[in-house]
Structure 1
């Protein structure tokens, strides 16, 4: 059973030069890296004004990353694996067990 979730791929000319898919892949990787870096900076910001500025830039970057992901998925350049229901249930049960071991607040 095919568990791949993907739209039909938009045809692109394959040459040695970068094409739209190559650019999108490169930019998406960069956006993911930036959101991780901004997340770390937010965790470590001690000044509230700086924190708010970083948060604004983080949100803009995250929104750009999501729009690019949507574009790539729409064009069939990004695929996902359908989750196995049994694995999801096992993860949920493990989470519930772990949660019960936490002290109540």
Structure 2
């Protein structure tokens, strides 16, 4: 006698499990990353906040003088701080 094993529905099961588990995990990861980026910007002296923009998370900077320093003006050259903050964020260890 030779035993047989038939599997059906494993692909469907995998899709259902992924549909149930992946979106909450992705949302949690996005929230943690956004909070970490806001903390990094706050450490650079720029207050930032997390906002929900149409189902997407965004980090908003509402500090006008900080944005003015980043861009510069006709009277003052730019003094970029965002590139340094993003580099520090990328180099951090989770």
Structure-2-length-normalised TM-score: 0.34
Query: Greater share of strand residues, 1 or 2?
Result: 2
Q: TM-score, normalised by structure 1?
A: 0.31
Larger relative contact order, structure 1 or 2 (CA cutoff 8 Å, min sep 6)? 1
Bigger Cα Rg: 2
